[in-house]
Amino acid sequence: MLDTSSLVPAVSVENVTLNYYTPERETLALANVSLGVQPGEFVAIVGSSGCGKSTLLSLISGLIRPSQGAVSIGGARISAPSPRVGYMFQKDTLLEWRTVLENALIGAELLGLDMKKARMRAEDLLVRYGLGEFLHAFPGQLSGGMRQRAALARTLCPEPDLLLLDEPFSALDYQTRLALSDEIAAILQNEGKTVILVTHDIGEAISMANRVIVMSRRPGRIKEEHAIAFPSFGEDRPTPLEARKCVEFAGYFQTIWDQLDIHQAQ
Amino acid sequence: MSMNFAAAGSAAPTSADTAAPARSPGYRAYLASLRRDTWIVQGWQLGLVALFFALWEIGPRMGWINPMLTSYPSAIAGTLMKMTSDGSLVLHTWVTLKEILVGFAGGMALGTLLAVALWWSPMVYRIADPFIVVLNALPKIALVPIFYIWLGDMASIYAMAIAVSLFVTVLMLFTGFQAIDPDKVRLVRLFGASQVQVLTKIVLPGSVPTMISTLKVNVGLALVGVIVGEFQAAKAGLGYLITYGSQIFQMNLVMTSIFVLAVISTLLFALIQSVEATVLRRYGSGPSGT
Ligand SMILES: Nc1ncnc2c1ncn2[C@@H]1O[C@H](COP(=O)(O)OP(=O)(O)OP(=O)(O)O)[C@@H](O)[C@H]1O
Ligand SMILES: [Mg+2]
């Protein structure tokens, strides 16, 4: 039972189907979805609203269980949330009665980690994200971008090695968004995390990810996959801002745009 | 009304405007008008109180009203002095205050426990829901004689104070619990939180604003419960003084007791408002009106 692969987990979603039941109706949110993510890979998922992207992340996080099929992380089938997985929701869900620092520490608190170390790490993360002056402020006093960074610090504080990001930048204005995605891409690359990013923003997906997955309308299925590479940039991976300037960018954008049939959605 | 000054405030900047503490004439005029409005309101309030007491004092003395029916302020002041010096004021006030505080705390504690139980098990909630609604609608005052027969004089007053506030507390708190953002619950579930931790880390702290609104409602209700309970059962307390005074036709005594009750309820309310102001500061919103 020894895990011989690296410490960073691989994710495997096998033939997963998910139904939501409410008294009014049954919703088939995901139909037969299979997805593999390599250790250290950065995967972006795009798809129209309501196609089941958040549902897929909830399944991988262990918050909900598939109706059929299996989800495993690092080779082990999951049945409950694991501290190895960090999940950032669409909303920042900061707790307004806790200070920024206390918010960042909630994971460590609940997981029973060493609070002294966690506190140092949380402070360090918050300072790095430009929230050094706001450690003891309440979330009500923060701007949207600051709240999002506080939520990121909260997610990263317990040192997860798989990160699930659900439209983490959607609440931000365009410039903050570009700057923050650059920052976050750098942070995640440095720390060698495995990342699954859900976004509506095709440009964001192409510029940040190694691979972009396009989902079909509900019931969500995996429609296409694109390995993203920027040979024109050379050996290294460009930062998101640099990637947007590469010649390959527009081509990927057009292909994925066409596959999303956004004009039908509006 | 304060809008009038918006235009004046945007007048061409003078050199004084660049310094932080300097205020433009428009802004100063606006602030002055705010202060003036406050003075007018407070002036009217004081004036109305003074007028009320003056009429109350003069009316009976001039023979416009029968002093047997209304008493008058100077007589009440006299009664207050006499009762203070013979210690009976402190005695009766303390009895009533103690009943109010115990009933209030008991209603709050029991109500919170029940609300938590309902939140804990949705099935229990579904089963209990219609009963709670009916019990809440039932006029608890009707139970006073029954409580007296079952519980005797002391306990029936506490029971009344609790009964009056209990179901409102349960309904208000439970509604507050249900309004908690489910994503916050999902957040702590991600970190493996147990049901108890969901309660202590999210549901209870997230419901503090609801709890404070409930406190405000309950202060009033506990007072009602205690006084009604005392009407029936008590051998001491302000409610007892009111019934006793009316039986021997001593309006001084009745009015004095009512005056003391008014003071108590004002003080309790002010206390809760100051708690609200300090606690809610961190919840992003200021105190919610009055
Ligand atoms: N708790 C739930 N109960 C019932 N139906 C749900 C629930 N959550 C999601 N659904 C339904 O499942 C489908 C997929 O939802 P999901 O939130 O995964 O979509 P999404 O791709 O994340 O959409 P968006 O881009 O708008 O966030 C939607 O049709 C939604 O109405
Ligand atoms: Mg979503």
Is there a single domain that holds both residue A57 and residue A170?
A: yes
Q: Which residue of A has its CA nearest to B185?
A: A93
Q: Domain of A68?
A: 1-84+161-266
- pLDDT at residue B279, rounded to an integer: 84
- In tens, the pLDDT along B139-182 reads 988 888 899 999 988 889 999 999 999 999 999 999 999 999 99
**Which tokens is B93 given?**
């006030």
Is there a single domain that holds both residue A202 and residue A242?
A: yes
pLDDT at B1 > cutoff 50? no
The set of long-range contacts for B56-61, using a CB threshold of 8 Å and a minimum separation of 24, is none
Decide: helix, strand or coil at residue B180: coil
Mean pLDDT of chain B: 87
Ligand 1: atom nearest CA of A56 is 18
B191 chain-A contacts, CB cut-off 8 A: 81, 83, 106-107, 110-111, 158
Is there a single domain that holds both residue A104 and residue A235?
A: no
CB B227 within 8 A of CB B116: no
Count of structural domains, chain A: 2
Please spell the DSSP secondary structure of B245-277, one letter per residue: HHHTT-HHHHHHHHHHHHHHHHHHHHHHHHHHH
Is there a single domain that holds both residue A165 and residue A39?
A: yes
- Final residue in a domain of this structure, among A115, A131, A159: A159
In eight-state DSSP terms, residue A169 is: T
Is there a single domain that holds both residue A136 and residue A182?
A: no
Tell me which residues have their CB closer than 6 angstroms to ligand 1: A 20, 22, 27, 29, 47, 49-55, 90, 218
- Final residue in a domain of this structure, among A159, A185, A210: A159
Q: What are phi and psi of A15, to 5 degrees?
A: 45, 50
- pLDDT at residue A7, rounded to an integer: 52
Q: H helices of chain A, where? A: 53-61, 100-104, 106-111, 115-128, 144-156, 174-191, 202-208, 240-243, 247-260, 262-265
Q: Would you tell me how many other CB atoms lie within 10 Å of the CB of residue A176? A: 17
Is there a single domain that holds both residue A70 and residue A168?
A: yes
Is there a single domain that holds both residue A14 and residue A69?
A: yes
What is the model's pTM? 0.83
d(CA B202, CA B181): 9
**Which tokens is A260 given?**
């999303």
- Final residue in a domain of this structure, among A159, A183, A210: A159
- Give, rounded to a whole angstrom, the gap between the first and last alpha carbons of chain A: 50
- In tens, the pLDDT along B96-127 reads 999 999 999 999 999 999 999 999 999 999 99
Beta-carbon pairs below 8 A across chains A and B = 59
Mean pLDDT by 10 residues, chain A (266 residues): 52 92 91 90 91 93 92 89 90 92 94 93 90 92 87 91 88 80 80 88 89 89 87 81 84 87 55
Is there a single domain that holds both residue A204 and residue A140?
A: no
Is there a single domain that holds both residue A129 and residue A173?
A: no
Cα A27 to middle of ligand 1, angstroms: 9
Angle CA(B115)–CA(B120)–CA(B124) in degrees, nearest 5?
80
Is there a single domain that holds both residue A155 and residue A180?
A: no
**Which tokens is B206 given?**
């997230």
CATH number for the domain that contains residue A14: 3.40.50.300
For the complex shown, is ipTM > 0.90?
A: no
More confident residue, B2 or B74: B74
Is there a single domain that holds both residue A65 and residue A98?
A: no
d(CA A67, CA A31): 10
B201 CB within 8 Å of a chain A CB = yes
Is there a single domain that holds both residue A169 and residue A154?
A: no
Phi and psi based region of residue B250 (left: phi greater than 0; alpha: psi -120 to 50; beta: remaining): beta
Angle CA(B102)–CA(B197)–CA(A171) in degrees, nearest 5?
110
